[in-house]
A and B are shown apart, each in its own frame.
Chain A
């Protein structure tokens, strides 16, 4: 158990290092000098040189990489080339917003996908199961931003039930916060639910064929109770794997959905920074997104151990 934890931790650190090198290298090989890009073509050479030395851009790539990593690790990533404001607090602020969006969407997706996928599997030979499959197929085919636009059209524009866009921090006005959260979470979460439903369905179908489920019924459990008591935990293993991977899709979805709903999260920050040519900010946001995916997959790996005792070495 501890061995596995240490192993996974080592893998996490190694992947963080590798991905940070890749992100850094990718930004470094972009044509153009970041200082020139930030100041614009009309800036004098002297101004550019001054900025290069102010931000340390005149140092070797290795020195620049190390100071960037140090900034991230010490949670003090310095200030933006463009606005000159501190990057740290901005990232923290935006990350919080995006986390609300992504985590709530994931919870909604699971709350929908687990029961619906299970029913689809149990009724896979019946019309109701096939109908649900068709609906989820449709859901998989709709991109999150399109779902967002459709939801805005119906619930905000036509019916006027919910605000079309905007963001209010939960501490300022909880009611408004929730109202504004509904549509973006629905557009991210329902599409995600459609995808997860299909994984839940196939995991449950596999479990339904297992001998231990027959044993459970032979003991006297009715089929649905047998499935819930003995099947779902086993079906969770493949679903949790997908969950980790789907988080990446969800983050990409969030970038777009934040734009559609005018939400000040990491996605908006990323797109704004790109358009303002704030390369260091872009680099930091991308790195945070990568870190989020890696950390979640690390957690997922540990979850397996909780779900499946076969992975615990000498648990007895």
Chain B
């Protein structure tokens, strides 16, 4: 696997469209015996941009870190994560095998640009290192040149000068672009972004988002994009998965999910983000209550304690109802169906 030649966008155009880049099955993340992420299953195809949304504390970051094999100490993942071109399952892979995959087949952009870079190393060297580790450039010199070029691609002014700068000499937006440059350095098949613009100044958010999308498009890479900003998902992604209580509760094309949500949690999220939705007393809609701490979600439907539609039926876990390829929801009383009982199709056809 490590012997695979460097793929440029040109050579991998060879009929790879539609291939599964990432296949996640039954992924759990646990701390001791408590599950923080449970039974996450989805597929991302070549060139697809998939959003992962949900309130803070829903398990989005842990899902992303589990894909990278970078869970914090004490947390363990079980289940299966397969990446195209990697001959082994990423879950349970040893560090040596994982370090060949990270930064090459899958790369990640983190939430906090201020702390993501080594303060004692020039940013050009940090970008060049990404290529030297995987030997995707023949020499240190070639990697340096490529690093400067990448810094230019992510819109940094004076790329050679920026390459010589230390992180503290750059703004948050500039640092995040450096992180993006090093994530894209080896043309990964999959880019995982965990709230990449949340920590940035609003004035630069749109610019950085554009660069991310452009970078992914140029490389025909697939992307998993985590955010709690629905408007961002709508502009960046084609498909979206809604996460709550460590589970995917709804998934589908962005257009579909955002205009006709089925899960009551999705409906609440959309209502809370829409400033035109008011209740009969004229107050802005919000989801009542707050996200419980890990381990304090109710049994059955995890959203039950905050859901206005909850009934006794919701004390048992709702099964997944597929509404299409990669689309479906898990709710006993879905929105959009006046009073029909949902069809339960356990197992098959999940996103």
Once the chains bind, are A211 and B120 in contact (CB under 8 Å)? Answer: no
Once the chains bind, are B165 and A220 in contact (CB under 8 Å)? Answer: no
Q: Does B338 contact A (CB under 8 A)?
A: no
Q: Which residues of B contact A308 (CB under 8 A)?
A: 119-120
Q: Which residues of B contact A222 (CB under 8 A)?
A: 95-96, 99
Partner of B133, one of A220, A309, A316: A220
Once the chains bind, are A219 and B129 in contact (CB under 8 Å)? Answer: yes
Once the chains bind, are B112 and A125 in contact (CB under 8 Å)? Answer: no
Once the chains bind, are B168 and A309 in contact (CB under 8 Å)? Answer: yes
Q: Measured between alpha carbons, how far is A283 from B108 in the docked complex, in Å?
A: 63
Once the chains bind, are A218 and B166 in contact (CB under 8 Å)? Answer: no
Once the chains bind, are B104 and A220 in contact (CB under 8 Å)? Answer: yes
Q: Which residues of A contact B95 (CB under 8 A)?
A: 222-223
Q: Measured between alpha carbons, how far is A210 from B103 in the docked complex, in Å?
A: 18
Once the chains bind, are A210 and B115 in contact (CB under 8 Å)? Answer: yes
Once the chains bind, are A215 and B110 in contact (CB under 8 Å)? Answer: yes
Q: Does B222 contact A (CB under 8 A)?
A: no
Q: Which residues of B contact A218 (CB under 8 A)?
A: 68, 70, 102-103, 107-108, 110, 183
Q: Measured between alpha carbons, how far is A217 from B117 in the docked complex, in Å?
A: 12
Q: Does A216 contact B (CB under 8 A)?
A: yes
Once the chains bind, are B168 and A214 in contact (CB under 8 Å)? Answer: no
What distance in Å separates the Cβ of B67 from its nearest Cβ neighbour in chain A? Answer: 11
Q: Measured between alpha carbons, how far is A221 from B116 in the docked complex, in Å?
A: 15
What distance in Å separates the Cβ of B225 from its nearest Cβ neighbour in chain A? Answer: 16
Q: Measured between alpha carbons, how far is A316 from B134 in the docked complex, in Å?
A: 29
Q: Measured between alpha carbons, how far is A307 from B119 in the docked complex, in Å?
A: 10
Closest to A208 in B: B73
Once the chains bind, are A316 and B118 in contact (CB under 8 Å)? Answer: no
Taking CB atoms and an 8 Å cut-off, the chain A residues in 182-224 that contact chain B are 210-212, 214-223
Once the chains bind, are B115 and A221 in contact (CB under 8 Å)? Answer: no
Once the chains bind, are A215 and B102 in contact (CB under 8 Å)? Answer: no
Q: A222-B96, A222-B99, A309-B166 are in contact. Are A216 and B118 (CB under 8 A)?
A: yes
Partner of B165, one of A125, A307, A316: A316
Please give 17 more A-B residue pairs, beta carbons under 8 A apart, in addition to A221-B99, A221-B133, A307-B120.
A211-B116, A214-B70, A215-B179, A216-B118, A217-B70, A218-B102, A218-B107, A218-B183, A219-B107, A220-B99, A220-B101, A220-B130, A221-B129, A222-B96, A223-B95, A230-B121, A315-B169
What distance in Å separates the Cβ of A237 from its nearest Cβ neighbour in chain B? Answer: 9
Q: Which residues of A contact B110 (CB under 8 A)?
A: 211, 214-215, 218
Q: Measured between alpha carbons, how far is A306 from B315 in the docked complex, in Å?
A: 62
Q: Does A4 contact B (CB under 8 A)?
A: no
Q: Measured between alpha carbons, how far is A304 from B110 in the docked complex, in Å?
A: 29
Q: Does B15 contact A (CB under 8 A)?
A: no
Contact residues of A with B, CB < 8 Å? 125, 210-212, 214-223, 229-230, 233-234, 307-310, 315-316
Once the chains bind, are B119 and A234 in contact (CB under 8 Å)? Answer: yes
Q: A210-B115, A211-B115, A309-B168 are in contact. Are A217 and B120 (CB under 8 A)?
A: no
Once the chains bind, are B120 and A316 in contact (CB under 8 Å)? Answer: no
Taking CB atoms and an 8 Å cut-off, the chain B residues in 72-116 that contact chain A are 73, 95-96, 99-104, 107-108, 110, 112, 115-116
Q: Which residues of B contact A223 (CB under 8 A)?
A: 95
Q: Which residues of B contact A125 (CB under 8 A)?
A: 73
Q: Measured between alpha carbons, how far is A215 from B68 in the docked complex, in Å?
A: 11
Taking CB atoms and an 8 Å cut-off, the chain B residues in 119-163 that contact chain A are 119-121, 129-130, 133-134, 161
Q: Measured between alpha carbons, how far is A316 from B160 in the docked complex, in Å?
A: 11
What distance in Å separates the Cβ of B195 from its nearest Cβ neighbour in chain A? Answer: 13
Q: Measured between alpha carbons, how far is A316 from B103 in the docked complex, in Å?
A: 28
Q: Does B182 contact A (CB under 8 A)?
A: yes
Q: A218-B107, A316-B161 are in contact. Are A212 and B102 (CB under 8 A)?
A: no
Q: Measured between alpha carbons, how far is A230 from B166 in the docked complex, in Å?
A: 14
Partner of A212, one of B70, B119, B130, B165: B119
Q: Which residues of A contact B133 (CB under 8 A)?
A: 219-221
Q: Does B164 contact A (CB under 8 A)?
A: yes
Closest 5 CB pairs of A and B: A220-B103, A211-B115, A219-B103, A309-B166, A212-B118
Q: Measured between alpha carbons, how far is A210 from B166 in the docked complex, in Å?
A: 17
Closest to A233 in B: B120
Once the chains bind, are B68 and A310 in contact (CB under 8 Å)? Answer: no
Q: Measured between alpha carbons, how far is A310 from B122 in the docked complex, in Å?
A: 11
Q: Measured between alpha carbons, how far is A214 from B164 in the docked complex, in Å?
A: 22
Q: A211-B116, A234-B120, A316-B161 are in contact. Are A219 and B169 (CB under 8 A)?
A: no
Q: Measured between alpha carbons, how far is A234 from B70 in the docked complex, in Å?
A: 21
Q: Which residues of B contact A221 (CB under 8 A)?
A: 99, 129, 133
Q: Measured between alpha carbons, how far is A216 from B103 in the docked complex, in Å?
A: 9
Q: Measured between alpha carbons, how far is A315 from B99 in the docked complex, in Å?
A: 33
The 22 listed contacts between A and B (C-beta, < 8 Å) are A210-B115, A211-B110, A211-B115, A211-B116, A215-B117, A215-B118, A218-B70, A218-B183, A219-B102, A219-B133, A222-B95, A229-B129, A234-B118, A234-B119, A234-B120, A308-B119, A308-B120, A309-B120, A309-B166, A310-B119, A310-B168, A315-B166
Once the chains bind, are B116 and A215 in contact (CB under 8 Å)? Answer: yes
Q: Measured between alpha carbons, how far is A216 from B118 in the docked complex, in Å?
A: 8
Q: Which residues of B contact A212 (CB under 8 A)?
A: 115-119
Q: Which residues of A contact B112 (CB under 8 A)?
A: 211
Q: A215-B110, A218-B107, A308-B119 are in contact. Are A316 and B169 (CB under 8 A)?
A: yes
Give the interface centre of A210, A212, A215 by most chain B CB atoms within 10 Å. Answer: A215
